[in-house]
Structure 1
């Protein structure tokens, strides 16, 4: 198993789903981890499940610069460093099926959530530790960045921009900081379960590996990209989708 012993990571949106899967993978590989989310009580419960000796919960609004600075400072103060950043928070505000019908306010909110908050988190981590000491960043994208689907225009556009953001940062922050991404396919979480239940056969029918993803699948990929085993990889967005993008349908 890839070792992250001696490293401190910050995972945004680490309370549940893919974020919790990422945090779990990092802890299993020896890292100390700061997780963030809005709900303080639920976040603390997640930290307790992961192991409070290795995990610190810092609650707040992911887009709030003050919260970002506080979380970065807490990592450094509590664990002594902030070597690794995972921009996991994302999602979509429903904005209409077609671009010509899109609610611009909702569209803008989706861009802010998926792209702009990733930028401000990187800025906070750079100023708080990475700029002086180096490290690695992984941005969580989606195969939606590579597909044009109904009602997915804002989310897909935001994630496509995040992929280029990853490439741009990789050039700008090299050689001290490596920056990569993971484009996830359909992962079964509490958030996605309502849209998948009763449609499992249809969803998996277009996945060559014939199963939905699990948070651990994404977590393992993130852990690898953050580790020294990926020390000559930067600017790359790794697709983790069971082969879904190999199908045109």
Structure 2
């Protein structure tokens, strides 16, 4: 795997061999990069996504990247659908023999602008997918073997959950709830299961394009690292959090923001 700083290839330890992971919302962007990272570390991975064609294309890409397509499974569906969640977890266990890693990456943001004018239906949908569905996947994994055998969970939050954004308030509030959910679950599920979160700032994906595409250089100039994030930045942190190298870390949220909050920027 390449080092996005330009320093050359980054060695990836083979520390997840024998473990099966489920990564939601992994047909593109951050989720796809996380799936690639876990595969590179030796895990088998189930990826989920709403669009079947895009999901299958991602699976082909991942299979080629790891050299073993049999280690990649797809589960098409909407994270907010309880039937889909049950099926994705069940098929992971049936195919790979266990479920040891869950990465809740699926998220939506159909609301923009002042909350006093927000469509409450859209706000409800945001919380259903970004928070309730994440808990639903945790419950399914717990009862499918993680509760007995242990495992690791990483929730993909956002710096918008740590500081007000002004324009994507419902999304930020949902990510704040996800961070609190992470802390609650860590306290309840330890020591067998560790639960952490990552909170990225603006990462160059199609999902976040509206936040930077008009003036990428100008947006990046406000970050101490003088560049926007890329999906691999988040994936590397997730790989660390699900590995035994972070065995005494739980209930934490790691900011992956190029120093933006330290510099006093809004999320």
Q: Same fold judged by TM-score > 0.5? A: yes
Partner of 1:38: 50
Residue 20 (structure 1) aligned to one of 19, 29, 32: 32
SS in 1 for 2:89: helix
- How far, CA to CA, are the matches of 2:188 and 2:232 in structure 1? 30
Structure 1, residues 5-55: CA drift from partner, whole Å, max 9, x if none? 111100000100000010011011111000000112221111111112211
1:187 aligns to 2:199 (yes or no): no
Instruction: Give the conservation status (yes or no) of the 8 Å contact 2:197–2:253.
Output: yes
Counterpart of 1:59 in structure 2 is 76
Shift of 1:98: 2.2
* Pick aligned residue for 2:162 from 141, 146, 151: 146
Q: How does 1:27-106 map to 2 (within 5 A)?
A: 27-51=39-63, 52-94=69-111, 97-106=113-122
Task: From 210, 224, 227, give the equivalent of 1:211.
Answer: 227
Moved more, 222-231 or 38-47: 38-47
Return the match for 1:225 from 229, 241, 246: 241
Q: CA deviation at 1:66?
A: 1.0
Q: Using the TM superposition, give the Cα deviation of residue 194 of structure 1 relative to its aligned residue in structure 2, in angstroms.
A: 4.6
Question: Cα distance 1:107–1:229, how it changes in 2: closer, same or farther (>3 A)?
Answer: same
TM-score norm. by structure 2 comes to: 0.90
After superposing the two structures, state which structure 1 stretch, 187-196 or 65-74, moved more. Answer: 187-196
- Larger RCO: Structure 1 or Structure 2 (Cα < 8 Å, ≥ 6 residues apart)? 1
2:149 paired residue among 133, 136, 139: 133
Runs (5+) with no aligned partner, structure 2: 1-11, 64-68
Normalised by the size of structure 1, how large is the TM-score? 0.96
Moved runs in structure 1, 4+ residues, more than 3 A? none
RMSD: 1.2
